[in-house]
Protein backbone atom coordinates (compact mmCIF):
# COMPACT_ATOMS: atom_id res chain seq x y z
CA UNK A 1 0.00 0.00 0.00
CA UNK A 2 1.43 3.39 -1.04
CA UNK A 3 1.94 5.98 1.68
CA UNK A 4 -1.05 8.37 1.63
CA UNK A 5 -0.24 12.07 1.35
CA UNK A 6 -2.73 13.08 4.03
CA UNK A 7 -5.42 11.79 6.36
CA UNK A 8 -7.99 13.39 4.05
CA UNK A 9 -6.75 11.14 1.25
CA UNK A 10 -7.31 8.07 3.44
CA UNK A 11 -10.99 8.90 3.79
CA UNK A 12 -11.59 8.66 0.06
CA UNK A 13 -14.42 10.55 -1.58
CA UNK A 14 -16.57 12.50 0.89
CA UNK A 15 -20.21 11.90 0.07
CA UNK A 16 -22.65 14.86 0.17
CA UNK A 17 -23.84 15.40 3.76
CA UNK A 18 -21.15 13.01 4.95
CA UNK A 19 -20.40 12.90 8.67
CA UNK A 20 -16.87 12.38 10.01
CA UNK A 21 -16.39 11.62 13.71
CA UNK A 22 -12.98 12.60 15.10
CA UNK A 23 -12.76 10.84 18.46
CA UNK A 24 -9.78 11.49 20.72
CA UNK A 25 -8.86 10.54 24.28
CA UNK A 26 -7.83 12.83 27.11
CA UNK A 27 -4.10 12.75 26.34
CA UNK A 28 -4.48 13.06 22.58
CA UNK A 29 -4.02 16.00 20.22
CA UNK A 30 -6.38 14.34 17.77
CA UNK A 31 -8.81 17.27 17.84
CA UNK A 32 -6.30 19.06 15.62
CA UNK A 33 -7.18 16.62 12.81
CA UNK A 34 -10.63 18.20 12.51
CA UNK A 35 -9.16 21.70 12.39
CA UNK A 36 -6.62 20.65 9.76
CA UNK A 37 -9.42 19.29 7.56
CA UNK A 38 -11.22 22.63 7.80
CA UNK A 39 -8.05 24.46 6.77
CA UNK A 40 -7.59 22.13 3.78
CA UNK A 41 -11.19 22.69 2.67
CA UNK A 42 -10.78 26.46 2.87
CA UNK A 43 -7.48 26.31 0.95
CA UNK A 44 -9.19 24.37 -1.84
CA UNK A 45 -11.84 27.06 -2.26
CA UNK A 46 -14.47 25.88 0.21
CA UNK A 47 -16.13 27.55 3.18
CA UNK A 48 -15.99 26.54 6.85
CA UNK A 49 -18.55 26.90 9.60
CA UNK A 50 -17.11 26.22 13.04
CA UNK A 51 -19.34 25.79 16.07
CA UNK A 52 -17.58 26.59 19.33
CA UNK A 53 -19.19 25.28 22.49
CA UNK A 54 -15.98 24.47 24.34
CA UNK A 55 -14.40 27.71 25.56
CA UNK A 56 -14.58 31.55 25.23
CA UNK A 57 -13.87 32.84 21.73
CA UNK A 58 -10.48 34.39 22.51
CA UNK A 59 -9.10 31.13 23.84
CA UNK A 60 -10.78 29.16 21.07
CA UNK A 61 -8.97 31.26 18.45
CA UNK A 62 -5.64 30.63 20.17
CA UNK A 63 -6.13 26.85 20.21
CA UNK A 64 -7.35 26.67 16.64
CA UNK A 65 -4.48 28.88 15.50
CA UNK A 66 -2.07 26.43 17.17
CA UNK A 67 -3.60 23.77 14.93
CA UNK A 68 -2.87 25.81 11.80
CA UNK A 69 -6.11 27.73 11.19
CA UNK A 70 -6.21 31.51 11.65
CA UNK A 71 -9.88 32.11 12.42
CA UNK A 72 -9.68 35.92 12.35
CA UNK A 73 -7.85 36.02 9.00
CA UNK A 74 -10.10 33.50 7.26
CA UNK A 75 -13.26 35.01 8.75
CA UNK A 76 -12.41 38.52 7.62
CA UNK A 77 -11.71 37.21 4.12
CA UNK A 78 -15.20 35.68 3.92
CA UNK A 79 -14.03 32.08 4.03
CA UNK A 80 -15.28 31.13 7.48
CA UNK A 81 -18.04 31.77 10.00
CA UNK A 82 -18.20 30.88 13.68
CA UNK A 83 -21.26 29.97 15.72
CA UNK A 84 -20.19 30.89 19.24
CA UNK A 85 -22.30 29.36 21.99
CA UNK A 86 -21.16 31.72 24.71
CA UNK A 87 -22.65 34.81 26.29
CA UNK A 88 -19.96 37.29 25.32
CA UNK A 89 -19.47 40.22 22.97
CA UNK A 90 -17.23 39.42 20.01
CA UNK A 91 -16.26 42.30 17.64
CA UNK A 92 -16.38 40.36 14.37
CA UNK A 93 -19.29 40.17 11.95
CA UNK A 94 -18.41 36.59 10.96
CA UNK A 95 -19.05 35.43 14.55
CA UNK A 96 -22.66 34.58 15.41
CA UNK A 97 -23.18 34.35 19.15
CA UNK A 98 -25.93 32.24 20.69
CA UNK A 99 -26.77 33.88 24.00
CA UNK A 100 -28.99 32.69 26.83
CA UNK A 101 -29.71 29.26 25.36
CA UNK A 102 -30.78 26.23 27.38
CA UNK A 103 -31.95 22.69 26.67
CA UNK A 104 -35.23 23.89 25.16
CA UNK A 105 -33.94 26.80 23.07
CA UNK A 106 -30.52 25.70 21.84
CA UNK A 107 -31.62 23.68 18.79
CA UNK A 108 -34.13 26.18 17.29
CA UNK A 109 -31.74 29.11 17.80
CA UNK A 110 -28.86 27.10 16.40
CA UNK A 111 -30.82 26.16 13.28
CA UNK A 112 -31.88 29.77 12.72
CA UNK A 113 -28.27 30.99 12.91
CA UNK A 114 -27.10 28.36 10.42
CA UNK A 115 -29.82 29.46 8.00
CA UNK A 116 -28.67 33.06 8.39
CA UNK A 117 -25.08 32.08 7.57
CA UNK A 118 -26.13 30.05 4.54
CA UNK A 119 -28.10 33.00 3.19
CA UNK A 120 -25.45 35.64 3.90
CA UNK A 121 -22.57 33.75 2.26
CA UNK A 122 -24.54 32.09 -0.54
CA UNK A 123 -23.54 28.62 0.60
CA UNK A 124 -25.94 26.87 -1.74
CA UNK A 125 -23.25 27.29 -4.39
CA UNK A 126 -20.13 26.56 -2.31
CA UNK A 127 -18.49 23.48 -0.83
CA UNK A 128 -18.95 23.70 2.93
CA UNK A 129 -17.34 21.93 5.87
CA UNK A 130 -18.94 22.29 9.29
CA UNK A 131 -16.71 21.55 12.28
CA UNK A 132 -18.45 21.00 15.61
CA UNK A 133 -16.15 21.60 18.59
CA UNK A 134 -16.93 19.76 20.66
CA UNK A 135 -19.57 17.09 21.18
CA UNK A 136 -18.52 16.41 24.75
CA UNK A 137 -19.06 20.05 25.73
CA UNK A 138 -22.46 19.95 24.00
CA UNK A 139 -23.27 16.90 26.13
CA UNK A 140 -22.04 18.58 29.32
CA UNK A 141 -24.02 21.78 28.75
CA UNK A 142 -27.30 20.48 27.31
CA UNK A 143 -27.45 16.74 27.96
CA UNK A 144 -27.74 13.56 25.96
CA UNK A 145 -31.32 14.07 24.75
CA UNK A 146 -30.47 17.41 23.11
CA UNK A 147 -27.38 15.90 21.52
CA UNK A 148 -29.28 12.98 20.01
CA UNK A 149 -32.14 15.21 18.86
CA UNK A 150 -29.76 17.63 17.15
CA UNK A 151 -27.97 15.00 15.12
CA UNK A 152 -31.07 13.02 14.22
CA UNK A 153 -32.47 16.30 12.87
CA UNK A 154 -29.17 16.79 11.02
CA UNK A 155 -29.57 13.39 9.32
CA UNK A 156 -33.05 14.21 8.04
CA UNK A 157 -32.29 17.81 7.07
CA UNK A 158 -29.08 16.74 5.38
CA UNK A 159 -30.91 14.56 2.89
CA UNK A 160 -33.31 17.36 2.02
CA UNK A 161 -30.43 19.81 1.50
CA UNK A 162 -28.59 17.38 -0.78
CA UNK A 163 -31.71 17.08 -2.94
CA UNK A 164 -31.71 20.88 -3.19
CA UNK A 165 -28.14 20.87 -4.47
CA UNK A 166 -26.16 21.76 -1.33
CA UNK A 167 -22.66 20.31 -1.05
CA UNK A 168 -21.43 20.01 2.53
CA UNK A 169 -20.02 17.66 5.13
CA UNK A 170 -19.62 17.68 8.91
CA UNK A 171 -16.68 17.02 11.20
CA UNK A 172 -17.74 16.16 14.74
CA UNK A 173 -14.95 16.41 17.32
CA UNK A 174 -15.36 14.58 20.63
CA UNK A 175 -13.29 13.70 23.67
CA UNK A 176 -14.65 10.19 24.12
CA UNK A 177 -13.45 10.04 27.73
CA UNK A 178 -16.03 12.71 28.58
CA UNK A 179 -19.24 11.11 27.27
CA UNK A 180 -21.01 7.80 28.03
CA UNK A 181 -19.76 4.79 26.09
CA UNK A 182 -23.23 4.09 24.65
CA UNK A 183 -23.54 7.65 23.35
CA UNK A 184 -20.12 7.44 21.71
CA UNK A 185 -21.11 4.14 20.08
CA UNK A 186 -24.23 5.80 18.69
CA UNK A 187 -22.14 8.61 17.20
CA UNK A 188 -19.88 6.02 15.55
CA UNK A 189 -22.98 4.36 14.09
CA UNK A 190 -24.45 7.50 12.50
CA UNK A 191 -21.07 8.66 11.15
CA UNK A 192 -19.96 7.76 7.64
CA UNK A 193 -16.28 8.20 8.48
CA UNK A 194 -14.49 7.64 11.78
CA UNK A 195 -11.02 8.69 12.93
CA UNK A 196 -9.97 7.65 16.43
CA UNK A 197 -6.82 8.95 18.06
CA UNK A 198 -5.13 7.82 21.24
CA UNK A 199 -2.38 9.59 23.13
CA UNK A 200 -0.26 7.32 25.29
CA UNK A 201 2.12 8.63 27.95
CA UNK A 202 5.11 6.34 28.46
CA UNK A 203 8.22 6.72 30.58
CA UNK A 204 10.48 7.94 27.77
CA UNK A 205 8.11 9.06 25.02
CA UNK A 206 4.66 10.21 24.03
CA UNK A 207 2.91 8.10 21.39
CA UNK A 208 -0.06 9.25 19.31
CA UNK A 209 -1.92 6.58 17.36
CA UNK A 210 -4.23 7.95 14.64
CA UNK A 211 -6.60 5.31 13.27
CA UNK A 212 -8.75 5.91 10.20
CA UNK A 213 -11.33 3.23 10.91
CA UNK A 214 -14.41 3.84 8.80
CA UNK A 215 -15.21 5.10 5.31
CA UNK A 216 -17.80 4.49 2.64
CA UNK A 217 -15.80 4.35 -0.59
CA UNK A 218 -15.43 0.96 -2.30
CA UNK A 219 -11.66 1.01 -1.93
CA UNK A 220 -11.54 2.16 1.68
CA UNK A 221 -9.12 0.30 3.90
CA UNK A 222 -8.46 1.06 7.60
CA UNK A 223 -5.04 2.52 8.33
CA UNK A 224 -3.14 3.48 11.48
CA UNK A 225 -0.55 6.25 11.72
CA UNK A 226 1.81 6.66 14.64
CA UNK A 227 3.59 9.77 15.87
CA UNK A 228 6.34 9.36 18.49
CA UNK A 229 7.78 12.17 20.57
CA UNK A 230 10.92 11.20 22.45
CA UNK A 231 11.90 12.41 25.90
CA UNK A 232 14.20 15.45 26.14
CA UNK A 233 16.59 15.26 29.06
CA UNK A 234 17.19 18.59 30.83
CA UNK A 235 18.79 19.64 34.14
CA UNK A 236 16.38 19.51 37.10
CA UNK A 237 17.09 23.16 37.98
CA UNK A 238 15.29 24.22 34.78
CA UNK A 239 12.05 22.86 36.25
CA UNK A 240 12.30 22.95 40.04
pLDDT at 231: 82
How far, CA to CA in Å, does 26 sit from each of 23, 44, 104, 119?
A: 10, 31, 30, 37
DSSP tag of 123: G
pLDDT digits (tens, 9 = 90+) for 104-117: 999 999 999 999 99
What pLDDT is stored for residue 4 in this prediction? 64
Q: What is the pLDDT, as a whole number, of residue 86?
A: 87
Angle between helices 144-163 and 135-142 (to 10 degrees): 130
User: How far apart are alpha carbons 163 and 215 in whole angstroms?
Assistant: 22
Residues of the chain with pLDDT under 70: 1-4
Please write the tens of the pLDDT for every residue from 123-163. 998 999 999 999 999 999 999 999 999 999 999 999 999 99
Task: Output the CA angle 11-12-15, nearest 5 degrees.
Answer: 95
d(CA 38, CA 172): 12
pTM (two decimals): 0.94
CATH topology of domain 7-238: Rossmann fold (3.40.50)
H-run or E-run covering 194 = strand 193-201
CA distances from 181 to 103, 175, 193 (A): 22, 11, 18
Q: Is there a contact between 30 and 195 (Cβ–Cβ < 8 Å)?
A: yes
Q: In what order do the strands lie in the sheet with 223-230?
A: 95-97, 80-84, 47-52, 127-133, 167-175, 18-24, 193-201, 205-214, 223-230
Nearest-angstrom CA–CA distance, 52 and 197: 21
d(CA 29, CA 95): 25
Domain locations in the chain as residue ranges: 7-238
Amino acid sequence: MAMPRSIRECLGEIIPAGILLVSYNQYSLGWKVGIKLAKEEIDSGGFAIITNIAIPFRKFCARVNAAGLDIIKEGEQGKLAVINVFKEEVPYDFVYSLEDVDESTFIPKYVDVKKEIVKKYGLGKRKVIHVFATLDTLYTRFGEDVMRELFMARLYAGEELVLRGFNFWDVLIVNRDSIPKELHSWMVTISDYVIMTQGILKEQEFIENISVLKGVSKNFRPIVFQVRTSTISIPSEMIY
